[in-house]
Structure formats: C-alpha cells, structure tokens
Structure 1
C-alpha cells in the first residue's frame, strides 16, 4: 500500500452524473465495476423505487427477477451482493442496499454499508436515492466513512487501513451536494487519523506541527505558544497539567477569514481539548482506563479538522481555533491534588483531582479567547467526563449552553450530520460544590455528583458574558467496534456537526 498522509486521508475520487444510468455504465470498464442500487419497501415495483426499476431495466437488468431470486432486505444498511456473469451485463457486482425509511439517518447507514461492500473496487457507480439534498449528502457521507478504515503503522510507515474504491460516480445527484458532503466526511477522517495516532508519536509538539502543516495547506493564520511563551503569558493551567511530562505543553491558534469579510462578519472561536495522553497524573488511572487515552485529544483534532475545511466549504464567518495541548503524566514535577493553579487572566483553581485535567487546560484557552479574541460565539469540544459517557453512552453527547438559541442551532446541525446532541442543564444549585477555601474555585464538585454538569459549570467561569456552548464528547468520541460509519478508535464526532453549523451562519 502507498504511504498514507494522515492529514489527507485516502479517498476515492467522487463525481456526480446526470445519467441516465445506462449511459454512465456504458462509458466505464465493467471488469471491476460495482453498481449500488437502493431497495425500499414496495410501492408497486417490488423493493424498487420506480426510478430505480426503470433505470435498471434500461441498463439491461431484470429487476423483478433479481428481487424474486435474491429477496434483498430493505432494512437500513442491509446489503445483498449479486455477482454478475462476465460479459453479459455492464457491471461485475450489483450491491443492493436497504434504504429503510429513506430518511437521512437510514440513508447514512445505507451509504456506510455500500462503502464497506465496495471497498477496493476499481470503479463504483451508485444510483442516488430519491431524497432531498440533506438525504443525498447523508448517503455520500456514510459511503465515504464506511469505505474507509483506520490507517495502520507498519514497517514501511503509515498505510491505508483498507483499499478504498478507486472512483465513485453518483448518478442523479447534484455535484455541489456530493462535493461538500465528501469534504465534510474528509474532515471527520482527518480528526480520526490524529486521534488514532499512538501517543509515543503524538505529543503536544507533534500536534502543533500538524496544525502548522494544515495551516499552510488551507491558507490559515497560525500561532504556537511553546512552554516559555506559555509561562510568559500566564497560562498556568496548561503548564500545570503538562508539568509532569517530558514533552512540554503547547497552545495553538488557527485563524480563518472568509473572502469579503469586514468588521461586521461574525467571529466564532472553537476550543478543543488536546490531552495527547492521559495517565491520570499522580491520581493514576487503572490500567484498563488508560488503554484508550491516546484519543483524549479528540476535541483538538476535531477543531483542527474543522479549520482545515472552512475555506473549501466557503464558511461565511470568521473562525478561530484554539488547541490546548498537554500530556498528563507522572514525575517529580507533576501537579498535585491540593495545588492552586493560576490561569490566564488571573483566576485561581484548587486542584481536586489530577485526572480531571481537561477542564484545566480548557480554562486557560477559554479565558484567553474571552479576553483577547472578542468572539461573538465561543464553543468548546472535549472528551471531558466519564459521567457524560455513563449518562448517554456512545451514541450522543451532552451540550451545555448559556444561550438557548445557540443550543438549538447546534442540535439541529447535529441531527443533520448524524451527530446527536442532547441538552443538559447548567444547574446553578450545583455551583456551590465548586467553592474552594484557598482559591477562587475548585475544579471538581464531588459532593453533588453530576460530574459532567459540574465540569461545565467550572468552564462557564472562564467565558465571561460570551454566548458559549460546551460539547462533552467523552462517549461518542470513540468507538469500540468497526461498524457502520465508524472505524474502531476515534470517531471524529463533532467535525461534521460544527461544519454544518458554521456553514449555516451569516
């Protein structure tokens, strides 16, 4: 396999064609050509949409005979693979994929199944499902994500986790819909590649270098604070969490400005947690709790991936990304329970547990964003608390917000992207659990439970009066299985959600 560029995941070339299907197939070499067609609950043409039935018939297939012989399941994501006799029909393999109720969620599952079923094919032609733009985009995003597998590190360096299809043509789809869907999915894969990189390779300085490379490729402004600049700037949270590591912390700022912007253009700041490995610090995690901790920087990976895609998606607002990067390790310089940390801007925090380090580095970045960047909206994303994972498991993430409209916008974007958010409350009565006898605030509130809520309340202390939202992706940020749209490992949850949200702002 060829060397893999982690910042440019290997994908098929995607194009859209107006059709008809028979003409598209006639122009391609059938030797290693797969045709993907959706099947649905019957509407008079068996499991076929009338359009699909007509297109197959015109291309030389016998759809009624196919349905009777193979009885394809119409359940979302179910696949039936039919091998075609050589030379008789213009394809080698026909993949019949269930579309379920043909809503976006089922179309995304169908696309993922189609992508998996056609991995490694030289050419793939898919008949776009009858749907609106959101549904067709969901199908494409699913196909891109399902057709990919995590990169592998071998003796020859990084290689693709699977042979992706060479080229995909989507028939009866709008070119712009396909192109934008592929770009959003590619952002998710970039975030996954970074999250899955082993922590003996990935440290704060390595992540900062990746951010500089992305900035160069995507036309972004970039600034990096090393440990000396962090000390000079008063970023005590990052320095405390990173103090026990042989690889010092970093703060990275990335900036995107759309063409034609002026002082009236809204400004969004995204902040990502970037703990490149989390041992728990002096309050060491149990061994099984450390196994997945290379993905504890997923928030920063998502923010980097979003910034990388802003220009090619023509996001209409200014976007600044902050990556708060540190490794939480153990040595004589590690921060201790009971220490008092001074954050950017002067707020002091009593350390209640060294394994609750993510909110400490985020506090520095949020305080900096509030004081120096003057955003209209401030959003952070982090694999922050086990409490969020216990509450909502792996399929959705809590969203906290100081503004109801902002919460609704993010949730709507999440539904469109297939990355579900669930509104959680900022319970003011729990704030007293964060009181400290020796500092402005304690960063954990063990006396009340609700660990995800108290973590959000802590972060709220650092955003001033800004419109702010916090996404706790500790659950959906990682997948334990290789299935559907997910490969095993980091999921990149939040990248497509945030891009959809940003695309809709003005």
Structure 2
C-alpha cells in the first residue's frame, strides 16, 4: 500500500511593527482601521481621517452607509483606487468594547477579509489595551488557518504580511509580538495536527512529528515503541492499540529552562493521543466516527505547547507525555470484560471499549507519578461526549484536586481565550468507578465526565492534578471568531498562558 503524502500546506501571515500610519507605510494592498461604537454613531480609529483624504473617499460615510455599528468583528469593505499607492481595499473593522477578547476577534475578522491578498497595514492594534496587541495577532494567525489535500493546491491563501501600524517598535511591543507569534503558532500547529487524516496520522507518525518539532525547540524527546511498552508494563496503551496494525507509541518530551538548577520543580502535561477512534468492538455509529481523526487533540495540544515553552520563557521544568494509539477493530482488539494492568500495577475492567482515552491517560499518569515525581500534573483530552452535553460547543470543562492549581487553570483560560468551567469531583460517585473484579471500571455510566475524572484521579496519587476535558470545544462547526471550521486545535494557548506566567506553581510547590 502506498504511503500517504501530505501536500505542502499554507503558512500563517508574517507580522511587523511600524510607528507610521497606514497611508505613510506604502506598498500595502489593504488598509484596515478600527471602528468603535459611539453615542452619536460609529467612530473611526487612528489614521482613518488621513486615509480618507489620501484616497479621496469618505470612510466614515462608508461606515454609516453600511449601517455599521462597530460591534466586534463587523467588517465594512470599501474598494478604493489610489493613483500613487498600491492599496485597493480598505477594511473598517468593529472592535466593540475594545476588550482583549474584542481585539482577538477583530484580528480574525481582518485575516478572513484579507485572504489571498499580499499585505495589510492596520492601525487596529494601536488602540488596544494591555495584552490587546498580542490578542489581535493571535486572532489574525488563527483566523488565517486552512488545511488542504487537493491535487491542485489550496483554494485560498492567508494574507502574506500584516503590518501593525502606529505602534512603537520598542522593546515592550517587540516582546508582545514575539510572544503572540509563539502562542498563535502553537494554536496553528495543534490545529494542523488534529486536522491531518488518520490514513497518514498513525501513532508512529505523531511520534515522528513530536521528534521533529522537539529537536527544533531544543527538547529531549523519547519514544516508546510497542516492544518497550510491553517490557515496561504499559497495559492500557497496549490494550487500546492492540486492535490496529498501527502499533501504539508513548511520546516523552522534556523541557528545561536555561540555567535551571536541580531544585527547579517539574510539571507534567499528559495529552490523549488517540489518532483514530472507531470505538473498538463497542463500535461508534458512522456519524460518530466522522470527526475521530482529531481524538488526539489533547496530545496535539501538548506537543504544540512543549515546542513553544522556550518562546514564552517558561520558568519550570516541563515533561510532556502523549500516549498514542489507534482504537480499532480486529481479532486482537480489547474486548468488553477484559481486565488490563496499567503501568505500576493498578487494574481496570474494560466494560466499554469506547471509553479508551482514560485507559491510555492512566498509564502515562502512573508513569509520571512513579518515575518523574512532578510538583503538578495536568492532563488534557477529548474524553467524553458528556462534557459537550454539559457545556455546549465553546467551553471546556476541568476538574482539580488542588485549589491553587485550579486557580492557575482558570486564570490561564481567561487570559488565553480558551475558556473552561470547573466541574465537581463528586466523591459519592466513586462507587460507579469501582469494579467487582478489578481496581476500577472504565465504563461507570451516568455523570460521564465526572466519573471519567474520578477514574483518572486514582492515577494522580497525592500529586496536585488537573484534568481538562475539551470534547465540547474540539470541533468548530463553522468559522467563528478565531476558530475555523473543523478541528479547533484547542488547548495550547491555555497551557502556555499558565506555564509562561511568572510563577506557574504559585501556591502549589
């Protein structure tokens, strides 16, 4: 069988800073200006008056004629012709209340409106609050994302270059831009990994991607093949991957801050890496499999975040673990009623082969506690359909056994735009995850997101632990704000906002 070859993909826009206004920069195909709501009608931001004069076009009148209000992400397009310049289009983009979130969404709106253009010069970021410039850049990067596997190339291309006008290129702005490119790039990488079809994206392929990006980022990367997994007792990963010709892997990525002493604590990230989930012998209905190439989104988020840790100056050691397997159907697939032995010896009765994610996460968590001894563990996964029932489309759920860690996750979610809602670890449901013949049951049923978290909690031991279940946010049904239709690549921005903060383990270690 021929090996699938992924075509060359599009790249995100390049970004630059300029202290000049758009009409002073020159050479741009598109100018973009902010529109703010006003009591007496919309108001235009920096450079719009000068642009109106240079173009001989009343841009405020164009906004009023379009009945624009300045609401977030609203775009009024104005075709123009300037004899002395290359500009052919002006975008007038609403920024609403001018919050950080509004600027992230405005960035995405600019990116969508400027596709297939060479360059944009915009003064929108000039009126942004603290963190707003970075949010605009992240939104513009992620709003530009696309993926293709067409014989004649992509249908459209992101705008090649975005210049942030009327922004001083001082150290603070330079740092904000560099950090934003790292955050947006991590989101792009995570989204790309989640979008690659499973006829290419096997566990071995995912491990190869981790090795490649890890080496580029200065990380130490180790990969367990099936033989080593068997030798060391990773029964959960082996059982889930046992039904596929594509053997499982365990990926370990190690980051150490520059100049770190042995006293610097370690955080472990664990990401679910199910490269395709058929449900196993408890097979999913066909419509339930349509999006299952992205069931490794948690693992993709970990790989993408690990590759950007140095760019956000993460001050602690971080180990990323991605247990990768394909949950398939064959004569060697795990069966309902099987009992598996995880790394470290705890056993699980498998009463639903489609509750496979917790089985691979359990192995990796047990390994982390036993062999790494971290100050904190965070696992991230598209784990349960119950989470989508609970929280809908755009918000992930999380659980934590430690209050300070929960506060860190909530703060990171708020600043990153990848939103979460804390869910309860209901002790009364513990009997649901117990088994008559093994230490645990992987198919408790009822309160499905909570019982899945309770199952995993046993593998965290006494370590401060958080569990993020973003099955609710893993797939965007349509273009919306910075999300493009398809796998969302959700997670790395949250992880980097946490691990790139001044003290990720404040109150924890």
- The TM-score range, normalised by the shorter chain, is over 0.9
| Whole-angstrom CA distance in 1 between matches of 2:182 and 2:494 | 13
CA deviations over 1:258-282 (Å, ceiling 9, x no partner):
1111123231110000101111111
8 Å contact 2:247–2:325 — kept in the other structure? yes
| Whole-angstrom CA distance in 2 between matches of 1:86 and 1:21 | 13
Q: Does 1:29 align with 2:24?
A: no
Q: Does 1:480 align with 2:477?
A: yes
| Whole-angstrom CA distance in 2 between matches of 1:90 and 1:250 | 52
| Whole-angstrom CA distance in 2 between matches of 1:108 and 1:297 | 26
In structure 1, the residue corresponding to 2:325 is in which secondary structure? strand
Look up the match of 1:347: 346
Look up the match of 2:19: 18
CA deviations over 1:180-222 (Å, ceiling 9, x no partner):
1122111111111111111111111111111111112111101
| Whole-angstrom CA distance in 2 between matches of 1:11 and 1:4 | 16
| Whole-angstrom CA distance in 1 between matches of 2:281 and 2:426 | 30
8 Å contact 1:15–1:175 — kept in the other structure? no
In structure 1, the residue corresponding to 2:43 is in which secondary structure? coil
In structure 1, the residue corresponding to 2:311 is in which secondary structure? coil
| Whole-angstrom CA distance in 2 between matches of 1:102 and 1:201 | 42
8 Å contact 1:22–1:58 — kept in the other structure? no
| Whole-angstrom CA distance in 2 between matches of 1:450 and 1:505 | 36
In structure 2, the residue corresponding to 1:133 is in which secondary structure? coil
Look up the match of 1:370: 369
| Whole-angstrom CA distance in 1 between matches of 2:489 and 2:430 | 31
8 Å contact 1:14–1:179 — kept in the other structure? no
8 Å contact 2:21–2:47 — kept in the other structure? no
- CA offset at residue 67 of structure 1? 3.9
- CA offset at residue 179 of structure 1? 2.2
| Whole-angstrom CA distance in 2 between matches of 1:147 and 1:126 | 16
| Whole-angstrom CA distance in 2 between matches of 1:147 and 1:170 | 16
In structure 1, the residue corresponding to 2:214 is in which secondary structure? helix
8 Å contact 2:207–2:251 — kept in the other structure? yes
| Whole-angstrom CA distance in 2 between matches of 1:5 and 1:176 | 30
- CA offset at residue 464 of structure 1? 0.9
Look up the match of 2:165: 171
CA deviations over 1:398-425 (Å, ceiling 9, x no partner):
1100111211211111111111100000
| Whole-angstrom CA distance in 2 between matches of 1:479 and 1:192 | 11
8 Å contact 1:424–1:453 — kept in the other structure? yes
Q: Does 1:100 align with 2:80?
A: no
| Whole-angstrom CA distance in 1 between matches of 2:39 and 2:23 | 23
Look up the match of 1:441: 440
Q: Does 1:146 align with 2:143?
A: yes
- CA offset at residue 178 of structure 1? 1.9
Look up the match of 1:83: 79
- CA offset at residue 59 of structure 1? 5.5
Q: Does 1:222 align with 2:218?
A: no
- CA offset at residue 286 of structure 1? 0.8
CA deviations over 1:26-69 (Å, ceiling 9, x no partner):
xx325xx10111101126784224x4555546766644444444
| Whole-angstrom CA distance in 2 between matches of 1:196 and 1:427 | 34
In structure 2, the residue corresponding to 1:214 is in which secondary structure? helix
Q: Does 1:110 align with 2:106?
A: yes
Alignment of 1:95-494 (within 5 A): 95-127=91-123, 128-149=125-146, 151-155=147-151, 160=154, 162-173=156-167, 174-446=173-445, 449-494=446-491
Look up the match of 1:38: 34
CA deviations over 1:284-324 (Å, ceiling 9, x no partner):
11111111110100000110000111122222221111011
| Whole-angstrom CA distance in 2 between matches of 1:249 and 1:67 | 56
8 Å contact 1:225–1:251 — kept in the other structure? yes
In structure 2, the residue corresponding to 1:154 is in which secondary structure? coil
8 Å contact 1:230–1:239 — kept in the other structure? yes
In structure 1, the residue corresponding to 2:44 is in which secondary structure? coil
**Farther off after superposition, 476-485 or 221-230:** 476-485
8 Å contact 2:42–2:70 — kept in the other structure? no
- CA offset at residue 139 of structure 1? 1.4
Unaligned runs of 5+ in 1: none
Aligned residues, how many?
Answer: 491
Unaligned runs of 5+ in 2: 1-5, 168-172, 504-509
